[in-house]
Amino acid sequence: MIFSTLNSSNSSLMNAPIGFFDSGVGGLSVWREGVKLLPGEHTVYYADNAYCPYGAKDPDEIIARSIHIVDFLLQHACKLIVVACHTATAAAIDYLRMRYPVPFVGMGPAVKPAAQHSVSGVVGVLATRGTFKGRLYHETLAQFATDVQIIEQPGDGLVELAEAGQTDSDEARALLQQYIRPMLDAGADHLVLGCTHYPFFIPAIARIAGAHMTIIDPAPAVAQRIKSLLMQHNLFNTSGDDARHEFFSSGNLQAVREMAGRIMNNE
């Protein structure tokens, strides 16, 4: 693994990498599933943690940041770009797809499987405020969730705790109790995670929810979508070279290093 600040010289790769970006370390939950499913692919990950969190930012600011990051990833010859952030997907992906010819994969709210499999008819959604305001979220509700009760809960404070590596701290557990207990009391049997930072809280969430709630992380489905697009566009890396992973940060590189290290050491 290579960790670089933004003033590092660009690396010229023999085979084009897949680009990932997020407001911080959250997109590493998607990167983790991507490299697990596609171990032969090179990747470039950009954490925009100098501007994190995105959740409450104006959509125009998020679009501007996304353009800056995509330009950077294209300088690294990325063949496909994963917007590994629900808020950035909601604000910017339509614009990015119009502006650039490269294929994009975004984060969709995983309400459909939750609604389809819910027995109680009550589904909790833990997401950022920006995600709740997004067109895609409301279209998904209108298409797939008309027969279930949706309990929306903004996850204020969780992104900052994930960035600090405090996913199992007293503060994190207190916030999660505050956010999830009302869903359980209302009978929710599925919890949709609508921010890529939130899967890092799954062990803590599971201890609160017990066997009463199914937690839905959209990252594995996103990894499958990446694979599908690589196949569709004939973009698989067939060189046989060892996969190369580069990490860049606009702010705190140490946070990225520590989270990526935890993922690699665990898996």
Same domain? 94 vs 15: yes
Task: Please tell me whether residues 213 and 225 are part of one structural domain.
Answer: no
Do 200 and 252 belong together in one domain? no
Tell me the residue type at 87: T
Show which of 217, 232, 253 is a domain's final residue.
217
Q: Are residues 187 and 126 in the same domain?
A: yes
CB neighbours of 183 closer than 8 A, spacing ≥ 6? 122, 124, 151, 153, 191, 213
Going 179 to 181 to 186 to 187, the CA torsion angle's sign is positive
Task: Give me the pLDDT at residue 112, please.
Answer: 94
52 is catalytic: no
229: exposed, middle or buried (C-beta count within 10 Å: 0-12, 13-18, 19+)?
A: middle
Q: Give the per-residue pLDDT at 265.
A: 81
pTM of the model: 0.91
Asked whether residue 4 carries a pLDDT value surpassing 90, the answer given is no
Task: Specify whether 256 is located in the same domain as 205.
Answer: no
Percentage of the residues of the chain whose pLDDT score is greater than 70: 94
CATH code where residue 95 lies: 3.40.50.1860
Q: Which of 195, 204, 215, 255 is catalytic?
A: 195
Residue 6 pLDDT grade (very low, low, confident, very high; cuts 50, 70, 90): very low
Two structure tokens written together for 116: 């389809």
Domain identity same for 118 and 83: no
d(CA 94, CA 78): 19
Burial of 136 (0-12, 13-18, 19+ CB in 10 A): middle
Are residues 194 and 235 both part of a single domain? no
Q: Which of these is catalytic: 52, 85, 141, 161?
A: 85
Does 129 share its domain with 192? yes
**Per residue in 161-196, pLDDT tens?**
999 999 999 999 999 999 999 999 999 999 999 999
Sorting pLDDT into bands at 50, 70 and 90, what band is 1? low
pLDDT in tens, 95-138: 999 999 999 999 988 999 999 999 999 999 999 998 999 888 99
Q: In this predicted model, which residue has the larger pLDDT, 169 or 212?
A: 169
Active site residue 85: yes
Q: Among the three residues 185, 202, 217, which one is the final residue of a domain in this structure?
A: 217
Give yes or no: residues 228 and 205 share one domain.
no
211 and 230 both lie in a single domain: no
Residue 3 pLDDT exceeds 90: no
Q: Which domain holds residue 90?
A: 2-107+220-266
Domain count within the chain: 2
Co-location of 24 and 66 in the same domain: yes
Candidates 55, 91, 96, 53; CA nearest to 73 is: 96
Same domain, residue pair 49 and 88 = yes
